[in-house]
Amino acid sequence: MPEKLNAGPKPQKRGEELKIIKFMLTHLMYGGVGSVVFGVLVLYFDIGGIWTLASASRDTLIFIFLLFFGMFITFGGISMGAGVMMLGGFSDNDDYDDERRYNHKDDGAN
């Protein structure tokens, strides 16, 4: 029988997939904590009169839920995106070599 020439990439181990999921959920949690802290501070200091408007409304709970849900999505997404972008090294050539390793020169801007 002929050998398979292009069998494709090797499948990842299950442990690797769990590491990736844990990494993403950890960064989502960091963003979620940041959104809760920011939301509480915005409401506490009544920035833009937002707490005054919310407390005067009959739909205060819906308002607070929508505020925190939107901030959780935003801050969580930013945190996950920043975590993913900080994984790799800088590469600006087609060979994907790390430029810092090969072209480490002092630019004289001391």
Question: Which pTM does this prediction carry?
Answer: 0.68
Q: What are phi and psi of 47, to 5 degrees?
A: -65, 125
How far apart, in whole angstroms, are the C-alpha atoms of residue 75 and residue 41?
15
For the stretch 104-107, contacts whose Cβ atoms lie closer than 8 Å and that sit 24 or more positions apart, written own/partner, are none
17-31: pLDDT as tens digits = 899 999 999 999 999
Q: In the 3-class helix/strand/coil scheme, how is 29-68 assigned residue by residue?
A: HHHHHHHHHHHHHHHHCCHHHHHHHHHHCCCHHHHHHHHH
4-58: pLDDT as tens digits = 666 666 766 778 889 999 999 999 999 999 999 999 999 999 999 999 999 999 9
Triad 61, 77, 13: Cα angle to 5°: 125
Where in the chain are the domains?
23-102
